[in-house]
Amino acid sequence: MSLSQDILFDAQPYLIANEKHPFVQGIISGQLTSGQLRYYDEQDIAFEYNEVAVINALINYSTSTEQALLFQKRQDMQLTMLRDWLKREPESMPHDWETLKQTPIQPINQVYRQHMAATIQTHSVLQILPSFAAGEWMYVELGKFMAKQTRVQKEPFQSFLSMSGDAFLGPNGYIQQFFNIIDHEAESATAREQEQAKQTFLKSCLLEWYFWDAAYKEITWDNWKAVALEGKGGPMI
Ligand SMILES: Cc1ncc(C[n+]2csc(CCO)c2C)c(N)n1
């Protein structure tokens, strides 16, 4: 079995857990508050900016020019997507760069971002790529799951997680190409390095679940502080 097959087998329970999460279910039924949606949006833009740094590292530590070109293409898409995202709905959510810089990074987002950024220091595509590819894989799989659901037809729910991006799908899509790279790099890696890569992928899958959870509960550093210092709101967090 290839490393990517091994990883995907172990990742299935995480996918099911993500599908069941009340935030994901809330997208299907259209039952999320504007506060929950806003929290997700703000934290996710900040998260995607962090991915720019991770993709840069992938370009930097590529082991072939073909790899570097693939990551560069993905980077181009990331920046284009972020530019367009920042332009949208300016009245309800002022997402310009200046206000975004002031958006506080909330606890789970910080844990996830640092989990990804920590792999950069390995200088190894085999270690960096799974931290990033897991989130992409999860969204693509959740997109397939959503396509099978009877979901509400109103925005913003209707387009949420409807991954229409063909760039990610199929044998030439990013997801398959990322797994091909993981398998190629695994050929020259030790068993321990392969295990580390797998655990990194699974941890990202787990943090995907916590990312939904943080948005569902709108968890902030202020919540954490209130719980720690004043004993407030315990069971939710
Ligand atoms: C928590 C979280 N995890 C992963 C992604 C990454 N992601 C999912 S879909 C996509 C590209 C098309 O929108 C990207 C970059 C994210 N945004 N938020």
Residue closest via CA to ligand 1's atom 2 equals: 135
Quote the pLDDT of residue 77. 94
Q: Report the candidate in 212, 204, 214, 211 with the shortest Cα–Cα distance to residue 10.
A: 204
Cα 141 to chain centroid distance, Å, stands at: 12
The CA 169 to ligand 1 mean position distance, Å, reads 14
Percent of the chain with pLDDT over 90: 73
Q: What would the pLDDT profile of 208-231 be if each residue is shown by its tens digit?
A: 999 999 999 999 999 999 989 988
Mean pLDDT of 67-77: 97
Instruction: Delimit the domains of the chain by residue range.
Output: 3-236
Judge if the beta carbon of residue 165 lies within 6 A of ligand 1: yes
Quote the pLDDT of residue 231. 82
Judge if the beta carbon of residue 208 lies within 6 A of ligand 1: yes
Q: Could you tell me how many residues make up the chain?
A: 237
Structure tokens at 45: 């833009």
Q: Report the candidate in 32, 51, 48, 45 with the shortest Cα–Cα distance to residue 94.
A: 45
Architecture in CATH of 3-236: Up-down Bundle (1.20)
Cα end-to-end distance, the chain, whole Å: 39
Query: What is this structure's pTM?
Result: 0.93
pLDDT reading at 90 higher than 60: no
Q: Report the candidate in 164, 196, 203 with the shortest Cα–Cα distance to residue 182.
A: 196
Q: What would the pLDDT profile of 162-173 be if each residue is shown by its tens digit?
A: 876 689 888 899
